[in-house]
Amino acid sequence: MTDECRKAIESYLERLRGSFQVRDSQDGCIVVTPFMRRDNDFIEVALVSQPDGSILVTDYAETVDYLALEGLNIHRSREARRCLDQTARRFNVEIVDDEIRAIAAPDTLGETFERVVQAAQDVAYLVYRRLRRPAPTFDEKVERVLIGEGIKYDPEFRVEGVARTHTFRFYVDSEKNALLQPLSATSPHSALVKAERLAFSWFDIRDPWPNYRKIAVVDDEKGKERLWSPDALTTLETYSDLVIRWTRYDELVPALR
């Protein structure tokens, strides 16, 4: 099979060689590669001559612009920005002002061109992550704030109460001894039931563990405020040390520091 493998490689390289297109530009050229994104557009890379004789290889931010058109705004996603940083390190390129770029000397142009193209492909693949990833749960939204602000926490923290053991979603031990419980509901009835269950948990640990600070975080965004009746909110406010509505989530971080 060795000869067949060599022939396959040679045939592929010959086919690949004829698949690139080159267009002149004011300061160099634009190379249209045969590598396609999900929108069936080909990845394009520009080569721009620099005053010192080096060559700038750049995608002119077209890849990140493509993600934005597909609904993935990297400036609003910490996870997407983290992936971009990983791509930059992996392929030894810069991603500056959404532009994937690298500077090449004339004798390293081929290698640099390959790295920029590979980085553009890698970033373009982020659109598939957006398509297959479900919307974050309310717990995940709260967790992202903690991670983004560098607040250390223990997940699924168990506390022994008088009647039984209770598990709380987050525990923040930064001299706050804060138990943090997100609450999201799909109906007024479920909101009241969850409020009453949490109130019981708070009450059950109050005497044996008086130092814990009990914080409820209520999902009230995008019309969900109507789910939280006065009875549900009063129940939470009576037994919690603090109730934070997610529409005012900026109050959460100061409460934990």
What is the residue range of 53's domain? 9-132
Q: List CB contacts of 40: < 8 A, sequence separation 6 or more.
A: none
- Per the domain annotation, does 62 fall within a domain? yes
Beta strands 154-160 and 94-96, pairing class:
unpaired
Q: Which of 80, 101, 132 is the last residue of a domain?
A: 132
pLDDT at 174: 62
Per-residue HEC secondary structure of 139-159 comes to HHHHHHHHHHCCCCCEEEEEE
Contact in structure between 192 and 200 (CB atoms under 8 Å)? no
Q: Which of 132, 159, 190 is the last residue of a domain?
A: 132
- Per the domain annotation, does 190 fall within a domain? yes
Helix 78-91 with 109-124: angle, nearest 10 deg: 160
- Per the domain annotation, does 4 fall within a domain? no
Contact in structure between 173 and 154 (CB atoms under 8 Å)? yes
Same-domain check for residues 245 and 151? yes
Total domain count, the chain: 2
pLDDT at 134: 62
- Whole-model pTM: value is 0.51
Same-domain check for residues 128 and 142? no
pLDDT at 1: 62
Please state, in angstroms and rounded to a whole number, the distance separating the CA atoms of residues 57 and 173.
48
Q: Which of 107, 132, 157 is the last residue of a domain?
A: 132
- Per the domain annotation, does 209 fall within a domain? yes
Same-domain check for residues 115 and 95? yes
- Per the domain annotation, does 74 fall within a domain? yes
Same-domain check for residues 144 and 48? no
Same-domain check for residues 192 and 229? yes
Same-domain check for residues 121 and 184? no
pLDDT at 131: 46
* CATH code: domain of residue 234: 3.40.1350.10
Using DSSP's 3-state secondary structure scheme, residue 90 falls into: helix
Same-domain check for residues 146 and 207? yes
* CATH code: domain of residue 60: 3.30.1460
- Per the domain annotation, does 208 fall within a domain? yes
Same-domain check for residues 198 and 250? yes
Same-domain check for residues 47 and 122? yes
Contact in structure between 55 and 103 (CB atoms under 8 Å)? yes
Instruction: Spell out the per-residue pLDDT of the chain, length 257, in tens.
Output: 688 898 888 888 888 888 899 989 888 999 999 998 887 788 999 999 999 999 999 999 999 988 888 888 888 888 888 999 999 999 999 999 999 999 999 899 999 999 999 999 999 999 877 645 566 789 989 998 998 888 889 999 999 999 999 999 999 986 778 999 999 988 899 899 999 999 999 999 999 999 999 999 999 998 899 999 999 999 999 999 999 999 998 899 888 87
Same-domain check for residues 151 and 126? no
Q: Which two tokens stand for residue 211?
A: 């130092």
Same-domain check for residues 117 and 147? no
- Per the domain annotation, does 196 fall within a domain? yes
- Per the domain annotation, does 30 fall within a domain? yes
Same-domain check for residues 143 and 113? no
